[in-house]
Amino acid sequence: MVVGDFPIEVDTLVVGAGPGGYVAAIRAAQLGQKVTIVDKGTLGGVCLNVGCIPSKALIQAGHMAQNAFGSEELGIKTENVTVDFSKVQEWKGSVVKKLTSGVEGLLKGNKVDILNGEVYFVDKNTAKVMDEKNSQTYTFNNCIIATGSSPIEIPSFKFSDRVLDSTGALNLKEIPKKLVVIGGGYVGTELGSAYANFGSEVTILEGAKDILGGFEKQMTQVVKKHLKKKGATIVTEAMAKGVEESKDGVKVSYEAKGKEETIEADYVLVTVGRRPNTEEIGLEQVGIEMGERGLVKVDDQCRTSVDNIYAIGDIVAGPALAHKASYEGKIAAEAISGEKSVVDYVAIPAVAFTDPELATVGYNEKDAKDAGYKVKAAKFPFAANGRALSLNNSDGFLKLITREDDGLVIGAQIAGPNASDMIAEIGLAIEAGMTAEDIALTIHAHPTLGEITMEAAEVALGTPIHMMK
| Range in 72-76, 99-103, 331-335 with the lowest mean pLDDT | 72-76
Q: What angle do helix axes 217-229 and 186-197 make, rounded to 10 degrees?
A: 30
* Tens digits of residue pLDDT in 194-249: 999 999 999 999 999 999 999 999 999 999 999 999 999 999 999 999 999 999 99
Phi-psi region of 61 (alpha: psi -120 to 50; beta: other; left: phi over 0): alpha
* Tens digits of residue pLDDT in 61-70: 999 999 999 8
Average pLDDT, the chain: 96
The domain made up of 163-272 has a fold known as FAD/NAD(P)-binding domain (3.50.50)
The answer to whether residue 133 scores a pLDDT higher than 90 is no
Q: What integer is the mean pLDDT of 162-173?
A: 97
User: In this structure, what are the phi and psi dihedrals at residue 379, rounded to the nearest 5 degrees?
Assistant: -115, 135
pLDDT class for 132, splitting at 50, 70, 90? confident
Q: What pLDDT, on a 0 to 100 scale, did the predictor assign at position 204?
A: 98
The answer to whether residue 439 scores a pLDDT higher than 50 is yes
Q: What is the largest CA-CA distance in the chain?
A: 86
Which CATH number applies to 356-461? 3.30.390.30
Top pLDDT among 3 and 346 is at 346
Beta strands in 52-134 (DSSP E): 70-71, 76-77, 113-116, 118-123, 126-130
CA atoms within 13 A on the CB side of 199: 14
Q: What integer is the mean pLDDT of 81-96?
A: 97
| Range in 132-136, 156-160, 244-248, 372-376 with the lowest mean pLDDT | 132-136
Q: What are the domain boundaries of the chain?
A: 8-151+275-336, 163-272, 356-461
Element (H or E) spanning 261, and its range? strand 259-265
Task: Answer positive or negative: Cα dihedral of 28, 279, 56, 115.
Answer: positive
Q: Which residues are annotated as a binding site for FAD?
A: 56, 147-149, 314
Q: What integer is the mean pLDDT of 168-174?
A: 97
Q: What pLDDT, on a 0 to 100 scale, did the predictor assign at position 2?
A: 43
Catalytic residue, chosen from 63, 226, 323, 446, is 446
The domain made up of 8-151+275-336 has a fold known as FAD/NAD(P)-binding domain (3.50.50)
How far is 287 from 306, CA to CA, in rounded Å? 7
The answer to whether residue 3 scores a pLDDT higher than 70 is no
pLDDT class for 4, splitting at 50, 70, 90? low
* Tens digits of residue pLDDT in 288-300: 999 999 999 999 9
Task: Answer positive or negative: Cα dihedral of 99, 104, 107, 113.
Answer: positive
Q: Which residues are annotated as a binding site?
A: 56, 147-149, 183-190, 206, 273, 314
pLDDT class for 1, splitting at 50, 70, 90? very low
How far is 90 from 122, CA to CA, in rounded Å? 42
Task: Identify whether the C-beta of residue 289 lies closer than 8 Å to the C-beta of residue 331.
Answer: no
* Tens digits of residue pLDDT in 260-279: 999 999 999 999 999 999 99
Residues in contact with 190: Cβ distance below 8 Å, sequence separation at least 6, in sequence order: 55, 59, 352, 353, 354
* Tens digits of residue pLDDT in 350-362: 999 999 999 999 9
Q: Which residues are annotated as a binding site for NAD(+)?
A: 183-190, 206, 273
Top pLDDT among 469 and 312 is at 312
Task: Identify whether the C-beta of residue 139 lies closer than 8 Å to the C-beta of residue 123.
Answer: no
Give the amino acid at 253: S
Q: Which residues pair with 205 in a beta bridge?
A: 182, 235
The answer to whether residue 151 scores a pLDDT higher than 60 is yes
46: closest CA among 91, 87, 86, 16? Answer: 16
Domains 8-151+275-336 and 356-461 share a fold: no
Name the percent of the chain lying above pLDDT 70. 99
Task: Identify whether the C-beta of residue 268 lies closer than 8 Å to the C-beta of residue 180.
Answer: yes
Task: Identify whether the C-beta of residue 99 lies closer than 8 Å to the C-beta of residue 44.
Answer: yes
How far is 395 from 383, CA to CA, in rounded Å? 6
- Catalytic residue at 446? yes
